[in-house]
Structure 1
């Protein structure tokens, strides 16, 4: 599979531009993801072009769009594979950031109507874990451009959020990732965190 990106020459850098290369160095051979074979960059007419050649994955994604809409009941080994991979990802140190405290402060009150928690526990996350970025059989984790630090349990929490229309799948996510059932503690600022 090949991906191609185009940016103005002065903007050909940053988290998304470098994400797959950084993910390849940390996770290829350790987590189930398409292996990055080669990256080629060139500039012309004031634009930077980037082409990446990834391992071709024949498996279909769990969903064609971000939200899971059709029933899906993967076997136990699918769930254990996903859990192992996310545990491995979370154990790797990175300088990259997927989610910032400022994002939490802005979005939690806006979408949930509650005060934002002060995040004190961070771990490396895929950062865009949703059914469209998981394959049905292995599962392979797709689209690593935005990986980085996020609140502990972020990937596990995003998956049921995108799966609420399929309650059995969303419940299986909760059963597979105990971090989703942990109680919040109150920190000195009065805000809540996990």
Structure 2
């Protein structure tokens, strides 16, 4: 009869996600994963599969962490307000003292050049989903009048998603919260240009 697990899979997956977010795919060793989770190699592999499988699950976990912000955006009265909520959360995370919060597994993986097909596909799909979220919110704001800029929503979303990456890099480069807030405000100001 198999032994019962004496750990919480969701808690361990959270820790795996933190390690991959902080160190990247290539920079994450089995030793780092074991240290962060307190589990041995066999327990990790039996529960989550190989490193590639762990990384894929960590990507999904990281996306789930943002579900509350997405829900708040959908509840916002106007498109411009929804974008402000998104970037407020982004700046808050980037300014965090926690290295895992300052980092983004998707942005980091794309910058790192993870090219194993299932991983590259998952990273690109999540990036595209964020682009689509921003594009749809820009369109919503253009319709409700809270966004004056009538440039194509896909192009404005490209600018906004570039800000996402820029904030993550700025955080890694040691920029403070006030600097990142100004960068976000300047970029979002483009939406107010008629």
Q: Same fold (TM over 0.5)?
A: no
Q: Which structure is higher in strand share?
A: 1
| TM-score of the pair, normalised by structure 1 | 0.28
| TM-score of the pair, normalised by structure 2 | 0.28
Q: Which structure is higher in helix share?
A: 2
